[in-house]
Structure 1
Amino acid sequence: MSFLDQILVSLESTAWDVLPIILVLSFFQFAVLRKSIPHFRRIFFGLVMTVVGLAIFIIGLNECIFPLGEAMASQLSDPQFLSPEDPVVQAMLENGKRIPPVFYSWTILFAFLIGFSTAMAEPALIAVALKARDITTGAISAWGLRIAVALGSGTGVALGTYRIIVGTPIQYYIILGYILLLTQTYFAPKFIVPLAYDSGGVTTSTVTVPLLVALGLGLAHNVPGSSPLLDGFGLIAMAAMFPMMTVMAYAMIAQVIQKRRLSQPSA
């Protein structure tokens, strides 16, 4: 299929995907509100740009992000890269056993940095951080919120990568993680709790999800004893859970620092 054919097919598919949204909005605009659409030309132009942008984005995912993520994961978890001459590793491979996690240090570091960098570049997170800064008149720093979310995302992806390497069932991580999260919710400042839970959702969006899916599947295909179905998925859940913890921790630390400053006698 030529590149032009790919664009046409992606445009058609994207238009059909967007059509239900258009029908719902049109029904409420004309049948319920019974008003014409203000600035129709500008809105129509924006709609066309949305469809074109989504179509090109999908092509970019299929042509670049998915192959690159799977290739990097496969190369970093390749036994020949991990320890090509270690007799222990070779013996484990011959017996079909999992290689100890210590040999995957570069893989886990790569997973953390991918989780951190993709969260920092996530458009949805940037928008939420800017709105939070404006509403709180600067009390919540946009950069501070983004870094807190990115640290949580990186930690979650790194831990999810470790889970794939050792083969532990994901439910243990999720259950324990949400027990800690609910406990933290009770002690965290009340104003940060809704924002923290929203931050976990916006972290796993257009930039993060494709890379994490490619990373997880690439690792599961290459780690001995792993199943792509059981182990290849789950990184997105980990990347969504830990940012909620780090955002609440960020607010709790900021609150403690503020209390200490207020308790100090003025000179």
Structure 2
Amino acid sequence: MEALSSVVPITAIVLLLSFTMAPMPVASLILFLVGALLLIVGVGFFSLGVDMAMMPIGDGIGEQVARGSKLWAMVPLCFVIGVFVTIAEPDLQVLAHQVPAVPDMVIILTVAAGVGIFLAVALLRSRFGWPLNKLLIGFYALVFLLAFLVPKEFLAVAFDSGGVTTGPITVPFIMAMGAGLTALRSHKDSEADSFGVVALCSIGPILAVMILGLCYNAPDLSYTPFSIPDLETTADVGAYFASGFPTYIKEVALGLLPIVAFFTVFQIVSLHLRQRQLIKIIVGMLYTYVGLVLFLTGVNVGFMPAGHFLGVQIAKLPYHWVLIPIGMVVGYFIVAAEPAVHVLNQQVEDLTGGAVSQKAMGLALSLGMAAALGLAMVRVLTGISILWFLVPGYVLALSLSFQVPKVFTAIAFDSGGVASGPMTATFLLPFAMGACEALGGNVLTDAFGIVAMVAMTPLVAIQVLGLVYQKKSALEAERALLTAVEADEIIIYDDADQETVRLEDA
């Protein structure tokens, strides 16, 4: 039911557009509908598998790493875990394939190294209690300093790489690992410290790709246009999906293999889980595997062509400004179909004891996503540099970090990475590319960057939610205190001599 309610709204919007302003070939529409069906089943299996396997594995490994007394051994271990988990992230494969003039493996290894380094930084933060907001300010200051030096063709790709890295394989594992790293610490900020690992791991790829852009000599940065498959019959549609399955069966197997390998080693050396727990985790991993194969086949084979086609058709309209409101509506609903978003919302509700509900998180993320898509379509229409949006956006987000409870800052910066998942890479990015091509813009500078916009706006939206929560909590506490005083249910003492103070004076 959760998966159904997530996928149906975006499916309805695409159907409405295809019946009105952007008529779609029947074969492409069937591709999209079959993809939507695979999404529903895939998200359902994935969510179940994450609860049963990915979260317990990440949590267990995080606790074992946190217990390690030899920091010199734990830091490189975190680096290795970060690298291997990132290398086979399906979202990263999609982005690497889109970047021209740079070999896919160069991009993948660069991004993986960035994640590995910052996963090690997350361990050090957990061990020494470094404040997240000050770390983020320092690292983002470095990011924007480099942003003015790198070639403009690399700029949007660098920011996009920070968003796509935290996809459906890495997010559940890294978030659970972050909770495990802080599980053994008991202090007032331990709840906030459970979050923030995804936020740090999103910075590493941005810095790494920017450094690659400064060092890599790529004279021919040209974009290869997207090709929509020419299908005539339903048999062609079936054959097209059948040709896609083997690719994602292999990709997901390679993606989950490092996690299974690390878990096996930790199980033998230190975890020693009972047979019943072990069987549950194995079954959960199978659910996760099946869910991801179905999900990724659905979005890559069914959604990517539909997104590109709709972008082209709507941009060709005389009133192409309609891209902005349509983009906002699509953004509002599509974030619910990101599988990792459900993981984040559930963990936030659990770790805050229900104080921040899944519904509130979902609404804040949807509003943030709508704003992101609106701004991204403004860029496609006008060609404005992405820095005009990212610099003020991050300045506002980092300023808010000093005004809201620490846990909301950590959740907000985690949610930025989580929201920019495979649905963004395989539907929204092709949508922006199609619109940009139709308008005659520069795809590398104007369409790329949409993932970065999606990763930025939740930082502000979730922290605004934190301000509302803080004000609401203060009012409720004040109301409860006044009620108790009026009912003579509490006694107020003077701090100096411990004598009772009259209620009227109080």
TM-score (norm 1): 0.79
1:48 CA drift (Å): 3.5
Is the contact between residue 29 and residue 37 of structure 1 (CA under 8 Å) also seen in structure 2?
no
Amino acid at match of 1:82: P
Match of 1:93 in 2: none
- Structure 1 gaps, min length 5: 84-102
Match of 1:67 in 2: 305
Deviations for 1:145-185, whole angstroms, at most 9, x for unmatched residues? Answer: 21011101110121011012110111221112111111111
Give the Cα separation in 1 of the matches to 2:281 and 2:473. Answer: 45
The residue correspondences of 1:56-135 to structure 2 (distance < 5 A) are 56-78=294-316, 81-83=317-319, 103-104=320-321, 106-135=322-351
1:37 CA drift (Å): 7.3
Give the Cα separation in 1 of the matches to 2:289 and 2:323. Answer: 36
Match of 1:99 in 2: none
Is the contact between residue 324 and residue 374 of structure 2 (CA under 8 Å) also seen in structure 1?
yes
Give the Cα separation in 2 of the matches to 1:262 and 1:50. Answer: 42
The residue correspondences of 1:207-246 to structure 2 (distance < 5 A) are 207-224=423-440, 226-246=441-461
Give the Cα separation in 1 of the matches to 2:287 and 2:349. Answer: 29
1:9 CA drift (Å): 4.0
Give the Cα separation in 2 of the matches to 1:184 and 1:53. Answer: 37
Q: 1:142 to 1:256 in 2, by over 3 A?
A: same
Match of 1:48 in 2: 286
Is the contact between residue 164 and residue 219 of structure 1 (CA under 8 Å) also seen in structure 2?
yes
TM-score (norm 2): 0.44
Match of 1:94 in 2: none
Equivalenced residues, count: 243
Is the contact between residue 115 and residue 208 of structure 1 (CA under 8 Å) also seen in structure 2?
no
Is the contact between residue 404 and residue 470 of structure 2 (CA under 8 Å) also seen in structure 1?
no
- Structure 2 gaps, min length 5: 1-235, 487-506
Q: Are positions 1:38 and 2:275 aligned together?
A: yes
Match of 2:391 in 1: 175
1:35 CA drift (Å): 4.2
Q: 1:18 to 1:141 in 2, by over 3 A?
A: closer
Is the contact between residue 122 and residue 203 of structure 1 (CA under 8 Å) also seen in structure 2?
yes
**Could you say what the CA RMSD is over the residues aligned between the two structures, in angstroms?**
2.7
Deviations for 1:50-74, whole angstroms, at most 9, x for unmatched residues? Answer: 3333223222123211011111111
1:41 CA drift (Å): 4.5
